[in-house]
Structure 1
Amino acid sequence: MACQNCGASDTIKAHLIPEAFVMEVKVERGEQLLIVHEGQARPKVSNTGNYDPSLLCAACDGILGRWEGYAYTLFKRLRGVRAELGSFAAMGHVDGDQILRFAAGIAWKFTATQKHFGKIDIGPYSSLLKEVAFENAPIPSSVDVAVVRLVELDGDVYYYREPVPARHGGINSVRFSVGSFVIYLKTDKRPNDRTMPPECWLKGRSEGKFLIAPAEYFTEGKLHRELAMKDPVRRFFGDMRTRKQTRTQNK
């Protein structure tokens, strides 16, 4: 298969969600991931998350890797920011456009991947996001990005959510979560949703804010709790705990 960006014939195993974010879900080495797709009867057990071997060549994957590396470092720093739940915390210095290009690249991969990997349809915005992510194209007013940090009782979340088309405050968007953060990528010609202050929308900003919110109030947190209570997810977590106890006893 040819690279779906440049057409090169030599594609690689390109991770859909960057492997660095996937590995953050693990508490310790030796754990595995359970990937659950809506409507899929059997979840997939994985060590590093989903990858598509027919999506990108190494060079094009590297272009997205630049934005992904910036987002990973930024989110790691922002998890150290202390603020009250429900408040808007200052990011300090931030390159808002790099965060937007990161989000555009993740969303585009899921428009270009295969159906069994969670392919989404966002119409003409797929090609627009491709230009923004790969070609460093000017960012139109119809695209912007905002982030929300989800907090569990112990401060972190142990899951991620792949991109899905969504509506936020009546505005079309692509929504996904990594590293304890929910990312809203606006894909709509209408003005930005006013649910969050203007400084939470990061396009063109060198400073910004993000909302700190309880995970249980968000779809991501609710889905995680619901799935964790049902088989086969509950059984998977039980088996994982048993393996952990065995490893501890054998040390």
Structure 2
Amino acid sequence: MACLICGEAKTIEAHLIPKAFVAEVKTERGVQHLILHKGEARPRVSHTGVYDRGILCGPCDSILGGHEDYALELLRELRKPSGPSGGIIGVDPIDGDRMVRFAAGIAWKYAVTTQPGRIDIGPYVDVLADVALRDAPIPPSVDVAMLRIVELDGDVYFYRTPMPDRKEGANVVRFTVGSFIFFLKIDQRRNGSTLPAECWLRGRTKGAFVTGDAELTEEGRMHRQLSSSAPSRRFFTEMRARKARRP
């Protein structure tokens, strides 16, 4: 299958969630990650996350890689400050448009993939491709905001693949990496007031994000439930047993 952006015949194994974000998830050395998809009875195991061989060539994937590298380093820095749950933490400087292009790239990959987790975002498939991969001007209908999930020790325990959602009547794509929930708006409607205006990052060089306890978020509660499920317990019990048998 040819690259969906430039038509190049030779495509690569393009990671849907960037490999570096997968590797951030806290785990013991040598222990694989557990991937659970809604509706699947058995979890999958992986060291690097899910990839698709049929969507991007190397040069086009590297365009997304530039946005992903920027986001990775920024989120690592933003995890360092501590503050009360529900607080607003300023970010200065920030390349807000780069963060929009990063989030657009993640959502686009899940909108075109044939792997589990594919999402339907209608006509915004082409809009996000233009934003993330063709350096097009970002329209007002596309914007992104972040919410920091605060665990007890501030580490990263999970990621969540994109899913369509609604926020104050506006369509968004919601996903989690680096202990941040991203809300990528794909709608002509206004951003809404649930999150402060400065948290919406399109066009900003100074921005902000909100913090919240993991247990107060859908993602945090889901992580707790899935990690305590029977398939998860069996997997981690087996992995610990394997580690104990090593010389």
User: What TM-score do the two structures reach when normalised by structure 1?
Assistant: 0.95
Tell me the equivalent position of 2:126. 127
Aligned equivalents of 1:151, 1:244: Cα separation in 2 = 30
Name the counterpart of 1:36: 36
Query: What residue ranges of structure 2 are gaps of 5+ in the alignment?
Result: none
For 1:134, give the aligned amino acid.
Answer: L
TM-fit CA distance, 1:216:
1.0
1:153 aligns with 2:155: no
**For residue 16 of structure 1, what is the aligned residue in structure 2?**
16
Tell me, in whole angstroms, the C-alpha distance in 2 between the residues paired with 1:169 and 1:219.
17
1:174-195 per-residue CA deviation (whole Å, 9 max, x = no partner) reads 0000010100000111111210
Q: Take 1:76 and 1:218, find their aligned partners in 2: how far apart are those partners?
A: 20
Kept in 2, the 8 Å contact 1:227–1:234? The answer is no
Q: CA deviation at 1:157?
A: 3.2
**Corresponding residue number in structure 2 for 1:111:** 111
Query: Percent of pairs identical after alignment?
Result: 55
Tell me, yes or no, if structure 1 residue 208 matches structure 2 residue 207.
Answer: yes
Shift of 1:33: 0.8
Q: Say if 1:150 and 1:156, in contact at 8 Å, map to a contact too.
A: no
CA RMSD of aligned residues (A): 1.2
CA contact (8 A) 2:172 2:186 kept: yes
* Deviation for aligned residue 1:22: 0.3
CA drift at 1:170: 2.2
Deviations 1:118-171, CA, capped at 9 Å, x for gaps: 110010011100000011101111111000110112222311000000112222
Query: For residue 165 of structure 1, what is the amino acid of its counterpart?
Result: P
Tell me the amino acid that sits aligned with residue 146 of structure 1: A
User: Which stretch has the larger CA shift, 164-173 or 180-189?
Assistant: 164-173
Measured in 2, the distance between the counterparts of 1:219 and 1:210 equals 18
- Return the offset for 1:234: 1.6
Shift of 1:245: 4.1
* Contact 1:148/1:213, CA 8 A, preserved across alignment: yes
Letter in 1 for 2:94: V
Matched, 1:90 2:90: yes
Alignment correspondent of 1:231: 230
Unaligned runs of 5+ in 1: none
Task: Identify if the C-alpha distance between structure 1 residues 244 and 148 changes in structure 2 by more than 3 Å, giving closer, same or farther.
Answer: farther
CA contact (8 A) 1:4 1:55 kept: yes
Read off the aligned partner of 1:56 and give its amino acid letter. Answer: L
- 2:171, 2:244 → 1: CA distance? 46
| Distance in structure 1 (CA, Å) of the matches to 2:82 and 2:169 | 30
Which deviates more, 88-97 or 227-236? 227-236
Amino acid at match of 1:73: E
Instruction: Report SS of the residue matched to 2:195.
Output: coil
Q: By how many angstroms is 1:81 displaced?
A: 1.5
Q: Which one is further off, 153-162 or 64-73?
A: 153-162
Q: Hey, what does 2:193 align to over in structure 1?
A: 194
AA in 2 matched with 1:117 = P
Letter in 1 for 2:11: T
